[in-house]
Amino acid sequence: MANAAAKRSRRLDARVTPEEKRIIETAASLRGISVTDLLRTSVNDAATRIIRESEVLTLAERSRKIFVEALLNPPSPNEKALAAAKRFGQEVG
């Protein structure tokens, strides 16, 4: 496995207000980690959550469309479905 320095070979820069910097530094200090580690882990966690939420919404939308399409244009029953309906009718009737 590559060492941490090799993994973290890309750089991101951000401009923050003095107040934002103070808050970030205080939070990092309270956690006992560097500002870099706080920013890296916090932003990574937030980005991962945003991506997952987007994937869930996309899948939910796709599923909703498939469901509505099946309701509006139901497929014809196949042989197994017809046989099951016949058995059900015999057992209930």
The answer to the question of residue 66 being in a domain is yes
The answer to the question of residue 65 being in a domain is yes
pTM: 0.57
- Structural domain boundaries enclosing 43: 15-92
Place of tokens 């890296």: 40
Q: How many structural domains are present in the chain? A: 1
What residue type is assigned to position 5 of the chain? Answer: A
The answer to the question of residue 10 being in a domain is no
The answer to the question of residue 35 being in a domain is yes
Task: For residue range 26-64, list pLDDT tens digits in order.
Answer: 999 999 999 999 999 999 999 999 999 999 888 888 898
Query: Rounded to whole angstroms, how far apart are CA atoms 2 and 21?
Result: 31
What residue type is assigned to position 47 of the chain? Answer: A
The answer to the question of residue 6 being in a domain is no
Q: Decide: 61 and 51 in contact? Cβ < 8 Å.
A: no
